Structure 1
Amino acid sequence: MSTDFNKEQKSPKRRFLLILGTAAFICIVIFGLMIIFWDRIPLQLQPYQRILFGVLIIGYGILRFSRLFKKDKYDEE
């Protein structure tokens, strides 16, 4: 695997997907934090369940964000 993947010029498609993926990551993390800390969200969950659900959503956001930087072997060179 090439180590200079981030140094090469990105195509407009990859640049757009990076921006869109970053925006989705930020929204997902904010949503997870809202579930954990904002008590006025109408969820009938116990406090430990709210924290667990929020952490699960944040973990999903981190997983999606990490997948942005994985180079697909079928992607154009």
Structure 2
Amino acid sequence: MLDTIIKNIQKKSPKERFLLVIGILFFVLYFVLGLFIIFMKNFPLAMARPYRIAFGILLISYAYIRFVRLINDNKD
């Protein structure tokens, strides 16, 4: 499976590889940001804990949706 992913990435143009890397970067960014918002003790914005948890879960869900779309777009 991993070898087919690597071969698929090698077939892509430099522009498509760059966009793939940017997509992975933003997936990680949204996921980590969601975790920070949920677990950070001294959050700089005045938000109640349930709202912080909801916002963090929303960001993690959005990261998951981006990841699924990224995987589906790269199956070509």
TM-based fold match above 0.5: yes
Structure 2: how far apart are the matches of 1:13 and 1:66? 20
Normalising by the residue count of structure 1, what TM-score does the alignment of the two structures yield?
0.73
**Match in the other structure for 2:30:** 28
Give 2:70's match in structure 1, choosing from 61, 68, 71. Answer: 68
Q: Match of 1:39, as an amino acid?
A: K
Give the structure, 1 or 2, with the largest relative contact order (CA under 8 Å, sep 6 or more): 2
- Which is further off, 49-58 or 9-18? 9-18
SS state at 2:46 partner: coil
Distance 1:33 1:71, change over 3 A: closer
**Match in the other structure for 1:11:** 13
Following superposition, the deviation at residue 43 of structure 1 comes to: 2.2
Overall identity of the aligned pairs, in %: 42
**Match in the other structure for 2:56:** 54
Cα RMSD (Å) of the superposition? 2.2
Structure 2: how far apart are the matches of 1:18 and 1:44? 35
Higher helix share: 2
Q: Deviations over 1:8-52 (max 9, x none)?
A: 422212111111111111111111111000021222222221111
Give 1:37's match in structure 2, choosing from 36, 39, 47. Answer: 39
